[in-house]
Amino acid sequence: MSVTTAGAAAKPRPMSREEKKVIFASSLGTVFEWYDFYLYGSLAAIIGAQFFNVAGADGKPMFDQATRDIFALLAFAAGFLVRPFGAIVFGRIGDLVGRKYTFLVTILIMGLSTFIVGILPSSTQIGILAPIVLIGLRLLQGLALGGEYGGAATYVAEHAPHGRRGFYTSWIQTTATLGLFLSLIIILVTRTLVGEPAFAAWGWRIPFLVSIALLGISVWIRLQLSESPTFKKMKEEGTTSKAPLSEAFGAWGNLKVVLIALFGLVAGQGVVWYTGQFYALFFLQSILKVDGYTSNLLIAWSLVFGTGFFVFFGWLSDKIGRKPIILAGCLIAAASYFPLFNMITSYANPALEKAIQNVRVTVVSDPANCGSLFNPVGTRVYTAPCDMARDFLAKSSVKYSTEPGPAGAPVQLKVNDVVVPYGPDFNKSAAAALQAAGYPTAATNKDIIKMAHPFDIFQARTAAVIGLLFILVLFVTMVYGPIAAALVELFPARIRYTSMSLPYHIGNGWFGGLLPATAFAMVAATGDIYYGLWYPIVIALMTFIIGLLFVPETKDRNIDHWH
């Protein structure tokens, strides 16, 4: 293995027509892959009702709504969990067979799986078979996505001239955000056209069915492309790898680089990405209780304003390097999350912010009867009064503390000086005490932010929230814009697809994809609506330190001659 650098000898040249076609085709296909992947997450509640409403022997539903929602979210998470396995399977094929044909296969698997969800009969029609098939399709989506990104990034990078790889591959980096944006827009348009009742009954299928047209366009465009010049050259020279997996992960020299890429680049990038887009949306909806229509529009506008910065930071990384931009994004994000999310609360739900500051809420219980509320997969059922009381408070976005009480004493809730004993009507009594003390309810809260239509963005508070969300997206663009070029340049061409795909999908699929559930579990376990931010902060700081010490700068490497 040899490494050469382009250095000052590489003179950037204009993008050729063929290179523009390569970038467009790769990016468009990847947009559609992310669109397919995110549709499920955006419609998880409806999918839970459609496919997990399985009847028992008595004809009644086996699961309540909360449990159905949990199963739907677990199926969504399964797609993240299998992404690294897709990276291994398709990365190996990409290094053996070629870049182009491998990501043709991945887009076919993704598109067809999504289309089948749109025509899949519900659990009321085919019973337990519906959720089984749905989970199988979700696993296929995760496997396909695990193979798609590495192929697209490698393919574009191997077409790019020296000195412009960051700029060329940054177009691929816009695709996850554009895919999310496209899914949100099509869902909003469909909801508006058919109405909410019809959308919940059958209209939710339309965005899934639309994917077949997107798939057809993507496949047709990708069929026009030729194989990567780097891979063709290796084929001609007979230098392609015969055993990509053992070369990539069985030899310490390359495995060490894989681990450095994971912990020194991608883990931090993954948590910053998911905090800035998915957790921000979750925070607005589940914690600040902003309605789904407004929350999705706020996120969509922040993406409109921020997406161009993926390309800007990709271009900038060609000038100053990948490492300083990615690590600066991790560090600035970690330092900014607490004040930014505090300000989002202040503008989006000022009544909640005021209550958190002014109302003291304490659960008094025998410590022996209080368990842990850390429940990232959402499958635990609480039976102890102490746990049930705290679970109610966490889901109501109430900041609380736990105070030890006498051994064997019944659980009490203190709201300032008002004591609410635990009993059959606890939730109702606690809600009344909290409301009297100043905690807002959905019915009484007139100050919570609400958008009347998509262009209702000129109210001061609405504009402020979009501005804050834009800052979060800006952090995303810093860490994500240059990451494809950085990963491609870290590994030799013969095992590049395999080597870069695995750390990318572990970092994004596991560290990032599981972030919303883990962060909310941390909120529920502590009674602090901001406590979940410690998860991305710690991971981002870990990446900053490891990256600073161990990640090399790679922007001047000549990847065509690195076999």
What tokens were used for 399? Answer: 């900041």
Residues 202-217 have pLDDT tens digits of 999 999 999 898 888 8
Are the C-beta atoms of 411 and 309 separated by less than 8 Å?
no
Q: Is the pLDDT of residue 255 over 70?
A: yes
The position carrying tokens 């085919």 is 126
Provide the angle, in degrees to the nearest 10, between the axes of the packed helices 322-348 and 350-358.
80
**Which pTM value belongs to this model?**
0.86
Q: Is the pLDDT of residue 560 over 80?
A: no
Q: Where are the alpha helices (DSSP H) in 262-417?
A: 267-274, 280-282, 292-306, 308-320, 322-348, 350-358, 385-395
CA dihedral 258, 487, 107, 205 (to 10 degrees): 90
> DSSP string of 122-146?
PHHHHTTHHHHHHHHHHHHHHHHHH
Residues 365-395 have pLDDT tens digits of 988 888 887 766 566 678 889 989 998 898 8
Which CATH code fits 17-229?
1.20.1250.20
Residue 10, pLDDT score: 46
Q: Is the pLDDT of residue 244 over 50?
A: yes
Which residues, in sequence order, are CB contacts of 63 under 8 Å at separation 6+?
52, 53, 54, 71
Q: What end-to-end distance do the CA atoms of the chain give, in Å?
A: 6
Q: How confident is the model at residue 559 (pLDDT cuts 50, 70, 90)?
A: confident
Residue 99, pLDDT score: 80
Residue 123, pLDDT score: 85
Are the C-beta atoms of 494 and 234 separated by less than 8 Å?
yes
Q: Is the pLDDT of residue 31 over 90?
A: no
Residue 73, pLDDT score: 67
What are the domain boundaries of the chain? 17-229, 241-349+448-481+531-552, 358-437
What topology is assigned to 358-437 in CATH?
Glutaredoxin (3.40.30)
Residues 126-174 have pLDDT tens digits of 888 888 898 899 889 888 888 877 778 888 888 888 888 999 899 888 8
Q: Is the pLDDT of residue 7 over 70?
A: no
Beta bridge partners of 402: 363
Residues 312-353 have pLDDT tens digits of 999 999 999 999 999 999 999 999 999 999 999 999 999 999
Which residues, in sequence order, are CB contacts of 256 under 8 Å at separation 6+?
none
How many Å apart are CA 517 and CA 521, to the nearest integer? 6
Residue 429, pLDDT score: 93
Q: What is the DSSP letter of 514?
A: T
How many Å apart are CA 9 and CA 344, to the nearest integer? 48
Are the C-beta atoms of 158 and 229 separated by less than 8 Å?
yes
How many Å apart are CA 107 and CA 21, to the nearest integer? 18
What is the amino acid identity at position 226?
S
Which residues, in sequence order, are CB contacts of 31 under 8 Å at separation 6+?
175, 178, 179, 182
Strands 412-415 and 361-365: antiparallel
Q: Is the pLDDT of residue 552 over 80?
A: yes
Mean pLDDT across the chain, nearest whole number?
86
Using a pLDDT cut of 90, give the percent of the chain over it.
37
